């Protein structure tokens, strides 16, 4: 990796080498030491030459992004809920990796949802809802919204070549204030103006100040700015924490029902994920016998995620054999052996940051054994039963209740339950959950477990509405060390997971193009290998 300047703050000008003579090296400030590898020239001649002979930046008119109108409608809904209050929503900062570069940036999901910004835009940015007279704001709302971020410096500045975090020479061009204003339909302003925008007229409402609500624990610098303002104006910090939590809940619940643009993004993610599963099956012969065959599987899927999307939606679970009974097996260090099952739980995150989340359990040899098929078909029956009950008006928890009853019935028919079926299904029993301890469904969208901060009455106890998207993912997991089941079951883990859109009269399986039945899975795998 190319040596870059230290990311820590310093009083030196960008590009200025620290003074580190033999006599002074012992006194070199800690924040300067990350630049000890730097061999950037610092002469006036270099600076003058670097600032000259660059082609002027093009003045391009940018079309409005397809997401812009949808994001504006989302902001309007937020504005209606918090009239008269200033809302501060940070994107989040960059995070240093390996003391040199930064991890790929991903903004906070609430920020992405309300701006429409995906991929790597825009570290340190902050969206501010400024209260105005009711109805006098954006789109008839009660706020004027402004996106504050650091614009790219010109090629005649030292930042261009001397700032490894923001300079165009290091990271390439970034959109400017005008570009984002055109594309997003949002006011934009230099990040240097943020402090005044956040703190002006702030204070307790009872003395005429403007109440601030903050999306906390996203950017510590913004937290400090708002908290300092609250302390200086006598605002109760404990009460403010409660108000901030209400904002986080609202922004999470706002995503429970997806708009048409979001559904299309999820369709795109699902299609790429299905292609990734195809790639994995094609790579299975190479994985078998490799000392880290699960890594071969993981790598095949990751290549597709980077080719067609932004990244993985979450760390891939590529679990073969007994590893498939570990619910979040992401080490992926195991072998892939003939005769075992491979549980692949993976999703591609689109450039818009919407992710799929699909699981299939595949026979490594291409054919299920009799016991493997028995377990697989029980899980499939549970998934199918759950699909059947999905429609607007039912409660979210009914999906899980339906699926686990079917699993319990199969476990009972195999003689595995230590008590009667009804006793196991009772609240006091739950014996069947030994082999399926997780939930059957979670909402899906910008986060793989989307809307997680929504109140219980809107999530687990919530009523399904058209436009909701979630998973259905029952499973059975019989660990190799589980002495409560016959030996033939031990080491078998099966999960089947699909992504579901609630329609006006039922449900659409967004991932239906990926084979689900045991026969179809076997035929699909043979077809790939015979090509």
SS3 for 438-477 is CCCCCECCCCCCCCCCCCHHHCCCCECCCCCEEEECCEEE
Residue 327 located in a structural domain: yes
Residue 501: the pLDDT is: 98
CA distance 495 to 477: 8
Rounded to whole angstroms, the Cα distance separating 73 from 79 reads 10
Residue 35 domain flag: no
Please state, in angstroms and rounded to a whole number, the distance separating the CA atoms of residues 222 and 87.
12
Domain end call among 206, 225, 253: 253
Q: pLDDT for 427-478, tens place per residue?
A: 999 999 999 999 999 999 999 999 999 999 999 999 999 999 999 999 999 9
Contacts with 523 (C-beta within 8 Å, 6 or more apart), sequence order = 515
Same domain as 280, residue 235:
no
Concatenating the DSSP letter of every residue in 241-278 gives HHHHHHHHHHHHHTTSS--HHHHHHHHHHHHHHHHHHH
Q: Is residue 26 part of a domain?
A: no
The answer on 233 and 272 residing in a single domain is no
CA 12 from centroid of its chain's CA atoms: 37
Same domain, 268 and 248: no
Segments forming the whole domain that contains residue 234: 68-253
**pLDDT on residue 35:** 62
Q: 215 with 323, same domain?
A: no
187 beta partners: 146
Distance CA(314)–CA(224), nearest Å, equals 30
DSSP 3-state assignment of 479? coil
Per-residue pLDDT at 16:
42
Categorize the per-residue pLDDT at 53 as very low, low, confident or very high, splitting at 50, 70 and 90: very high
CA–CA dist 246, 15 (Å, integer): 44
240/265 same-domain check:
no
**3-class SS shares of the chain: helix, strand, coil, % to 5:** 40, 15, 45
If asked whether residues 147 and 201 sit together in one domain, one would say: yes
Q: Clarify whether residues 385 and 515 are in a common domain.
A: yes
Q: pLDDT tens, 203-224?
A: 888 888 999 999 999 999 999 9
Whether the predicted pLDDT of 30 surpasses 90: no
Does residue 271 sit in the same domain as residue 239? no
Count up the domains in the chain and report the number. 2
Rg (CA), the chain: 27
The pLDDT value recorded for residue 2 is 55
CATH number for the domain including 248? 3.40.350.10
Instruction: Identify whether residues 227 and 307 lie together within a single domain.
Output: no
Cα–Cα distance for residue pair 411/343, rounded to 1 Å: 20
Looking at the domain assignment, is residue 58 inside a domain? no
Question: How many other C-beta atoms lie within 10 A of the C-beta of residue 322?
Answer: 20
pTM of this prediction? 0.92
Helix (H) or strand (E) holding 114: helix 109-115
**Same domain for 444 and 312?**
yes
The domain boundary, picked from 253, 277, 292, lies at: 253
Last residue of a domain, one of 193, 221, 253: 253
């Amino acid at each position: 990796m190319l040596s870059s300047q230290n990311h820590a703050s310093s009083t030196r000008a960008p590009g200025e080498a620290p003074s580190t003579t033999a006599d002074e090296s012992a006194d070199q400030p800690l924040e300067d030491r990350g630049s000890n590898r730097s061999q950037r020239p610092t002469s006036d001649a270099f600076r003058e030459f670097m600032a000259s002979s660059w082609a002027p930046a093009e003045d391009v008119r940018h079309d409005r992004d397809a997401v812009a109108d949808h994001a504006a409608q989302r902001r309007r809904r937020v504005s209606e809920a918090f009239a008269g209050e200033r809302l501060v929503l940070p994107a989040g900062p960059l995070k240093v990796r390996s003391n040199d570069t930064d991890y790929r940036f991903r903004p906070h999901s609430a920020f992405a949802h309300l701006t429409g910004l995906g991929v790597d835009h825009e570290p340190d940015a902050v969206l501010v809802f400024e209260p105005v007279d009711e109805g006098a704001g954006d789109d008839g709302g009660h706020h004027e919204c402004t996106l504050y971020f650091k614009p790219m410096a010109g090629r005649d500045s030292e930042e261009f070549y001397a700032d490894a975090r923001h300079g165009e020479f290091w990271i390439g061009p970034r959109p400017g204030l005008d570009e984002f204003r055109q594309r997003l339909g949002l006011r934009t302003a230099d990040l240097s103006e943020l402090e005044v925008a956040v703190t002006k007229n702030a204070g307790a409402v009872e003395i005429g100040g403007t109440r601030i609500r903050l999306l906390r624990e996203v950017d510590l610098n913004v937290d400090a700015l708002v908290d300092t303002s609250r302390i200086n104006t006598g605002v109760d910090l404990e009460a403010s924490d409660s108000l901030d939590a209400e904002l986080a809940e609202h922004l999470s619940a706002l995503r429970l029902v997806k708009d048409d643009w979001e559904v299309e993004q999820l369709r795109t993610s699902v299609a790429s994920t299905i292609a990734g599963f195809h790639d994995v099956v094609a790579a299975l012969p190479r994985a078998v016998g490799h000392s880290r065959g699960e890594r071969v599987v993981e790598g095949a899927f990751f290549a597709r995620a980077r080719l067609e999307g932004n990244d993985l939606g979450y760390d891939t679970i590529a679990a073969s054999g007994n590893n498939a009974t570990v619910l979040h097996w992401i080490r992926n260090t195991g072998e892939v052996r003939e005769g075992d099952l491979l549980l692949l739980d993976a999703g591609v995150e689109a450039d818009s940051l919407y992710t799929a989340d699909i699981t299939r359990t595949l026979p490594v040899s291409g054919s299920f054994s009799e016991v493997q098929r028995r377990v697989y078909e029980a899980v499939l029956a549970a998934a199918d039963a759950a699909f059947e009950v999905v429609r607007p008006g039912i409660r979210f928890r009914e999906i899980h209740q339906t699926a686990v009853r079917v699993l319990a019935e199969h476990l009972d028919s195999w003689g595995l339950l230590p008590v009667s079926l009804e006793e196991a299904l009772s609240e006091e029993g739950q014996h069947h959950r030994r082999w399926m301890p997780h939930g059957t469904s979670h909402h899906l969208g910008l986060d793989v477990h989307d809307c997680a901060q929504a109140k219980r009455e809107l999530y687990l106890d919530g009523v399904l509405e058209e436009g909701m998207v979630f998973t259905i993912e029952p499973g059975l997991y019989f660990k190799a060390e589980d002495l409560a089941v016959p030996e033939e079951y031990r080491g078998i883990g099966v999960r089947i997971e699909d992504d579901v859109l609630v329609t006006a009269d039922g449900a659409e399986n967004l991932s239906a193009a990926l084979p689900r039945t045991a026969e179809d899975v076997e035929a699909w795998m043979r077809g790939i290998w015979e090509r």
